[in-house]
């Protein structure tokens, strides 16, 4: 398993959760993998409880399945669950940009603007990691500016389903497209044009449509 450094003041539980999520997304803990509290705990240098608590949290989002007295497994890809995760995201983000059209302040807009400027910088000076980070931050900023942070966390808890399929995807999306999408969203919010904003965010989120059949042919064991 891929273990990164534990942050200062990060609790053992948060560290376990972060590590598990990361390894599930990069497929180091592949769909269908058997995991046990004991094994994971010793790999991470923790005791069983914080690992157990992390597994419980992941199991609430159906990312792992815990079978009492039998063991725990990383859930196989359930394509329906991937689509449900996307459904939740599209529905909520459409409502969020709609609200943003109503109540965005100058400061909010310039925060988004600044983010996009940085994205353009990392297109010129390529850094896919930074761009991914800025993408996530852009969306979080949208939720923050309409004061719906809890909504973001709820949605985010389902995104692992999506992220790990994305990392199996055979063709990647051109970063420049993503930046253009973000610009379109910002533009619509500036114009207070709700339909335009909803359309732009929907277009953006549907870029991540996954070629299910190709991936399933490539990784048949990972699917339910």
Partner DNA sequence: AATTACAAGAATACTAGTAAACTAAAGGAA
Partner DNA sequence: TTCCTTTAGTTTACTAGTATTCTTGTAATT
List interacting residues with DNA (CB under 7 A): 11-13, 35-39, 46-50, 52, 55-56, 66-72
* 86 vs 182 by CB, closer to a copy of itself: 86
Closest separation between CB of residue 176 and a copy of itself, Å?
A: 31
Sheet containing strand 64-67, edge to edge, reads 34-35, 71-74, 64-67
The answer to whether 53 contacts a copy of itself (rule: CB under 8 A) is yes
Helices of type H across 26-148:
37-44, 48-60, 79-103, 106-124, 128-145
154 sits in which H/E element: helix 149-156
The answer to whether 156 contacts a copy of itself (rule: CB under 8 A) is no
Stretch that binds a copy of itself, among 23-31, 104-112, 148-156, 205-213 (CB under 8 A): 148-156
Closest separation between CB of residue 68 and a copy of itself, Å?
A: 8
Give the phi and the psi of residue 29 in degrees, each rounded to 5.
-100, 95
Q: Angle at which helices 175-190 and 128-145 pack, to 10 degrees?
A: 20
Q: Contact positions toward a copy of itself, by CB under 8 A?
A: 11, 49, 53, 56-57, 60-62, 68, 80-81, 84, 87-88, 91-92, 95, 147-148, 150-151, 153-154, 157-158
């Amino acid at each position: 398993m891929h273990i990164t450094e534990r942050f200062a003041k990060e609790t053992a539980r948060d560290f376990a959760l972060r590590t598990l999520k990361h390894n599930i997304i990069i497929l180091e803990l592949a769909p269908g993998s058997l995991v046990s509290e004991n094994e994971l705990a010793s790999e991470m240098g923790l005791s069983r409880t914080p690992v157990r608590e992390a597994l419980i949290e992941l199991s609430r989002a159906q990312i792992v399945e815990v079978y009492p007295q039998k063991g725990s497994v990383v859930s196989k890809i359930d394509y329906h669950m991937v689509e449900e995760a996307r459904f939740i995201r599209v529905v909520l983000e459409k409502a969020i940009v709609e609200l943003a059209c109503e109540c965005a302040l100058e400061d909010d807009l310039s925060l988004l603007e600044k983010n996009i400027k940085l994205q353009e910088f990392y297109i010129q000076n390529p850094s896919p990691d930074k761009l991914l980070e800025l993408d996530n931050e852009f969306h979080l900023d949208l939720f923050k500016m309409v004061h719906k942070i809890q909504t973001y966390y709820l949605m985010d808890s389902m995104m692992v389903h999506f992220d790990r399929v994305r990392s199996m995807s055979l063709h990647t999306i051109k970063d420049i497209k993503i930046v253009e999408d973000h610009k379109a969203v910002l533009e619509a919010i500036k114009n207070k044009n709700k339909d335009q904003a909803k359309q732009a965010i929907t277009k953006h989120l549907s870029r991540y449509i996954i070629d299910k059949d190709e991936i399933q042919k490539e990784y048949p064991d990972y699917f339910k």
